[in-house]
Amino acid sequence: MLRRIDLSGEVPGYSARALRELMPRAAFDVNEALRSVQPLIDDIAHRGTAAVVDIVERFDHVRLEHLRVPDAAIKTAVEELDPELRRAYQTSIDRVRAAHEAQRLPEVVTEVAPGGTVTERYLPVGRVGLYAPGGLAVLASSVIMNAVPAQIAGVGSIALASPAQKNNGGLPDQGILAVAGMLGIDEVYAVGGPAAIGMFAYGTDECAPVDMVTGPGNIYVTAAKRAVRGLVGIDAEAGTTEIAVIADATADPGHVAADLISQAEHDPAAASVLITDSADLADAVDDELARRVPDTRHSGRIQTALAGEQSGTILVADIDEAVAVADAYAAEHLEIQTADAREVALRIRNAGAIFVGAYSPVSLGDYCAGSNHVLPTGGCARHSAGLSVHTFLRGVHIIDYTREALAAVADDVVAFANSEDLPSHGEAVTARFEAR
């Protein structure tokens, strides 16, 4: 079922660039999407609320009287939440909070010379806009993954936006409202897609502009983030979701197939990639896919994703080659289902998150592992990390020198300044020691 790319024994012969170019990837042209998104963002910049209302009506077929969700609707969503689902939400909240509390950064004071210190303080951004998708999949889990790290970082003002749902009276999904209420977020907007990003960036008469926008979304949300980047901070330009699985002959083909299917369920353009040194395992996984896919609820979407150019099986000679391929692919989610899985995992350099062994599937990370599921895609794990408490913090240096400490380094500053033809820089130091 998965197309095959046979690289057995050939991996060492490829340059890093050539190996990356062989990897299956979803087409993801943000610039093309930006052509249709930019006019929407510009309209919001000029007309504010009126533009947001028009855009929501055009794309979500709901005419909003107010962008902001009433407090009573959030309270009702919490009160009417199914007890089983509430327990699942709370488990996720508790575990994400526990894992992310460990990411707090202490203030660090370094004495670089007698009388000269540099203090590093980590300060939260003042206000963030969090986005929770509501298209093919309505992701209440994304509210948790974005809001909890922001709260731990100490962000003082948090706003949440999610698309208006016609079948919910023009409000966002009830699960998203319930999670917001459980987290104490009362500023929620029934606005989705590029309109939400534009609203956050430029502000409206109901929504004050933010300093940073985070949260996953489709290519049009990503294009909107690109359009406002610089005016506000963003977490990342996330692409279509992806999973790679390194598996050897010891892996259970049923587990591997189930995990590839679970990621394909997200989107017809989702990527599911198997990396293996066992042709027999690859055959067995194909058999499992053929058996399982027709019985899934979203079989059409899954079949399209698995058959696409972004998915496939990569055959390698051994685990060393599998690690090299995985690093070239730099998956958003990477599973290791091999003998000595943890040892293999510790050899990986490039991945958004790594799931070790038969009992750490990606879907655990989507909800209740405690890790964050907002992760770099499209090979960006080579240089970027997933969303965390650090996303919402800025390192600020405080420089504190005594007269004596400045005097001790004055000649070096002057030498540097003169070498760069900026003599006034040096004079700003020597002026402090001139006789008056």
Tens digits of pLDDT across the chain (436 residues)? 799 999 999 999 999 899 999 999 888 889 999 999 999 999 999 999 999 999 999 999 999 999 999 999 999 999 999 999 999 999 999 999 999 999 999 999 999 999 999 999 999 999 999 999 987 678 899 999 999 999 999 999 999 999 999 889 999 999 999 999 999 999 999 999 999 999 999 999 999 999 999 999 889 999 999 999 999 999 999 888 999 999 999 999 999 999 999 999 999 999 999 999 999 999 999 999 999 999 999 999 999 999 999 999 999 999 999 999 999 999 999 999 999 999 999 999 999 999 999 999 999 999 999 999 999 999 999 999 999 999 999 999 999 999 999 999 999 999 999 999 999 999 999 999 997 7
Number of Cβ within 10 Å of residue 271's Cβ equals: 32
Dihedral sign for Cα atoms in the order 275, 281, 287, 291: negative
- Cβ atoms of 235 and 214 closer than 8 Å: yes
Predicted confidence (pLDDT) per residue in 335-362, tens digit: 999 999 999 999 999 999 999 999 999 9
Calpha distance 333→272 (Å, rounded) = 10
Find the catalytic residue in 100, 255, 298, 333.
333
Question: In the beta sheet, which residues pair with residue 188?
Answer: 160
Residue 137 phi/psi, 5° resolution? -130, 130
Spatial separation of the C-alpha atoms in residues 355 and 256, rounded to whole Å: 12
Tokens of 193: 């897609």
Q: Are the C-beta atoms of 207 and 71 separated by less than 8 Å?
A: no
> Is the distance from CB of 313 to CB of 5 less than 8 angstroms?
yes
Residue 333 annotated to the active site: yes
Q: Whole-angstrom Cα distance, residue 126 to residue 392?
A: 9
191-226 exposure pattern, b = at least 16 Cβ within 10 A, e = fewer: bbbbbbbbbbbbbbeebebbbbbbbbbbbbbbbbbb
Annotated catalytic residue 332 = yes
- Cβ pair 86, 137 in contact under 8 A: no
Alpha carbons 19 and 10: distance in angstroms, whole number: 10
- Of the candidates 4, 6, 3, 2, which has an alpha carbon nearest to the alpha carbon of residue 321? 6
Query: For the chain, how far is it from start to end, CA to CA, in angstroms?
Result: 85
Residue 237 is labelled as binding a ligand = no
Instruction: Choose, from 332, 335, 373, 427, the residue flagged as catalytic.
Output: 332
266 annotated binding-site participant? yes
333 is in an annotated binding site: yes
Distance CA 267, CA 219 (A): 12
Extended strands (E) in 39-114: 108-113
Burial of 174: CB neighbours in 10 Å, binned 0-12, 13-18, 19+: buried
Q: What are 203-245's pLDDT values in tens digits?
A: 999 999 999 999 998 899 999 999 999 999 999 998 889 999 9
Contacts (Cβ under 8 Å, ≥6 apart) of 218 = 133, 135, 193
Backbone angle region of 172, left / alpha / beta, with phi > 0 → left and psi within -120 to 50 → alpha: beta
Q: Which residues contact 167 (CB under 8 A, 6 or more apart)?
A: none
- Cα(371)–Cα(92) distance, integer angstroms: 10
Q: Is 420 annotated as a binding residue?
A: yes
The sign one gets for the Cα dihedral 330, 336, 342, 344 is negative
425 belongs to an annotated ligand binding site: yes
Is residue 412 a known part of a binding site?
Answer: no
